Amino acid sequence: MLPMATTTIRVMKPSAEQEIGEPSFSGSNAQLVEAAKGIRAVFSRPLGSENRNGGEQATTVFILYCDLFDGELSYKDGVIDEVTGSKYEIASVPFKRVGAGADHWVAEVSQVEGLR
């Protein structure tokens, strides 16, 4: 369990119909299923710089730290900040940190703003 949390998150998994590798929040045909909610979490400050794609889209990367839950975090899962409503996507393979009573998930997440 994280010693301190600043928000709670909801984890969304791709449905069986969604193609592997398809971004979680892309297009109107994205089929997401809620896997867990109310998970204590912390988002880091933005890492590095924003990637601006032609001035119409910006991708920002953060590190997500969250408590373990009944289930797994996976690459391309969707994450919703339950406090702000912001949507993120798991951008790298997440891993578990275990020990000293502070067991938690660590994952790089990206947030896309603008046209998709």
pTM across the whole model: 0.82
Whether 58 and 51 have beta carbons less than 8 Å apart is answered as yes
Q: Average pLDDT for residues 61-79, to the nearest whole number?
A: 93
Confidence at residue 12, expressed as pLDDT on a 0 to 100 scale:
95
- Strand-pairing partners, residue 43, are 64
Whether 13 and 24 have beta carbons less than 8 Å apart is answered as no
Q: Average pLDDT for residues 19-44, to the nearest whole number?
A: 76
Percentage of the chain beyond pLDDT 90 is: 54
Confidence at residue 110, expressed as pLDDT on a 0 to 100 scale:
92
Distance in angstroms (rounded) separating the CA atoms of residues 21 and 37? 23
Confidence at residue 112, expressed as pLDDT on a 0 to 100 scale:
82
Q: Average pLDDT for residues 30-58, to the nearest whole number?
A: 82
Fold of 7-114: Thrombin, subunit H (2.40.10)
Confidence at residue 25, expressed as pLDDT on a 0 to 100 scale:
62
Instruction: Assign 35 to helix, strand or coil.
Output: strand
Q: Average pLDDT for residues 85-107, to the nearest whole number?
A: 91
